[in-house]
């Protein structure tokens, strides 16, 4: 696996290389200490994965993310020393195409801290970058009749999702009578930060989806753990670590399929920008159950992966740019 590094601190680069040295599949492609070098290198030698320091001294890491992604569509893993204080910048960069973020490894009393988490992230992204279109295991959830007046709008998103979600919810009025449920591929430690950040663009209150609670009209819910969110037979949120082998976490397909099995009324399901295929089969299942399904179009997607698969499966009733999806949802509500 060819990995490149953009970092303006040579000591941090050495720590990164040391962290990766025991990773058998690691091959260092190139190192850039500044944005100009990075832009030149990415144009000529695209790696499988780019490790990009978020807080570079002379350039905004979120802006550089967009530049590099627009040039090469490269897979980007952000590195940050202070994740808690950088969440707005992290979500901006993820909206510009970064796949994920991890704390930068560092030395403490000559002990390397953070290496295992870095390798774990890289292994997950390796599966995502070179995803195998295997049949997803289905969660076995009993199908019972549910009486509920809540109107569900289920939204799946991944790479580029934060920006797309911000654009969508900025156009949803405060009096909208629907429960919006977001399955965004994001590590659990960033779910609360995403909710806080997204609240800046939303007229509706945003909550973390909590186990054993029911979605209610007039609210937005975000999946909050590395486990899979689903709706159980009593129309309540639950989380499950299974299927363990799914590297898309939380899985959009798992949630969409649980709606198909356990939600009596039809609703609206939306699949936004993202790498891979997660959500496409679930979207098709909901369409076949009478749901109105929407996929983001290629032009407005940061990565045209998940919605592309949905299009190929004929899973979307409508294929729309992100600027038109909110209105389409409101018309159906």
Over its C-alpha atoms, the chain yields an Rg (Å, rounded) of 20
CATH superfamily of 2-129: Response regulator (3.40.50.2300)
Higher pLDDT, 223 or 324: 324
pLDDT interval class at 136 (50, 70, 90) = very low
**In the predicted structure, residue 168 carries a pLDDT above the cut 90:** yes
Query: Rounded mean pLDDT of 247-274?
Result: 90
| pLDDT class of 145 with cuts at 50, 70, 90 | very low
> For residue 195, what pLDDT is reported?
85
pTM of the prediction? 0.68
Fold of 152-332: Rossmann fold (3.40.50)
297 given a catalytic annotation = no
Residue 134: its pLDDT value, please?
36
Active site residue: 80, 157, 158, 224, which one? 158
Percent of the chain surpassing pLDDT 90: 44
Of residues 139, 132, 129, 194, the one with CA closest to residue 161: 194
Angle at 90 between CA 321 and CA 46, to 5 degrees: 75
SS3 of 33-86: the string is CCHHHHHHHHHHCCCCEEEEECCCCCCCHHHHHHHHHHHHCCCEEEEECCCHHH
Residue in 185, 228, 260, 300 annotated catalytic: 185
Domain residue limits, the chain: 2-129, 152-332
pLDDT at 91 over 90: no
Torsion of CA 223, 224, 225, 228, to 10 degrees: -10
Q: Do domains 2-129 and 152-332 have the same CATH topology?
A: yes
Q: For the residues 46-53, what does the mean pLDDT come to?
A: 92
- Answer yes or no: 158 catalytic: yes
Could you say which of 48, 100, 227, 278 is catalytic? 278
Active-site residue, 292 included: no
Between 296 and 80, residue with greater pLDDT: 296
Q: Average pLDDT over the chain, rounded to whole?
A: 86
């Amino acid at each position: 696996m060819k990995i490149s590094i953009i970092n303006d601190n040579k000591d941090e680069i050495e720590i990164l290389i040391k962290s990766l040295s025991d990773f058998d599949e690691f091959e260092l492609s190139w190192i850039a200490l500044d944005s100009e070098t990075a832009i030149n290198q990415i144009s000529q030698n695209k790696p499988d994965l780019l490790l990009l320091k978020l807080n570079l001294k002379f350039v905004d890491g979120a802006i550089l993310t967009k530049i590099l992604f627009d040039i090469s569509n490269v897979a980007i893993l952000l590195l940050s020393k202070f994740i808690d204080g950088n969440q707005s910048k992290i979500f901006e960069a993820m909206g510009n195409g970064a796949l994920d973020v991890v704390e930068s490894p560092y030395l403490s009393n000559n002990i390397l801290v953070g290496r295992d988490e870095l390798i774990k992230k890289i292994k997950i992204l390796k599966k995502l970058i070179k995803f195998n279109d295997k049949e997803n295991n289905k969660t076995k959830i009993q199908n019972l009749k549910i009486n509920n007046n809540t109107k569900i709008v289920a939204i799946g998103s991944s790479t580029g999702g934060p920006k797309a979600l911000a654009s969508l919810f900025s156009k949803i009025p405060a009096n909208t009578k629907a429960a919006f449920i977001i399955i965004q591929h994001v590590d659990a430690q960033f779910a609360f930060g995403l909710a806080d950040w997204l609240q800046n663009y939303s007229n509706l209150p945003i909550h973390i989806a909590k186990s054993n609670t029911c979605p209610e009209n007039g609210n937005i819910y975000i999946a909050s753990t590395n486990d899979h969110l689903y709706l159980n037979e009593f129309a309540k949120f639950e989380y499950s670590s299974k299927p363990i082998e799914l590297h898309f976490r939380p899985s959009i397909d798992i949630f969409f399929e649980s709606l198909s099995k356990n939600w009596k009324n039809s609703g609206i399901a939306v699949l936004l920008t993202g790498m891979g295929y997660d959500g496409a089969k679930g979207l098709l299942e909901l369409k076949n159950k009478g749901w109105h399904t929407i996929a983001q179009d290629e032009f407005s997607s940061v990565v045209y992966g998940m919605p592309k698969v949905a299009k190929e499966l004929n899973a979307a009733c409508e294929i729309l740019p992100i600027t038109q999806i909110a209105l389409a949802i409101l018309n159906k509500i």
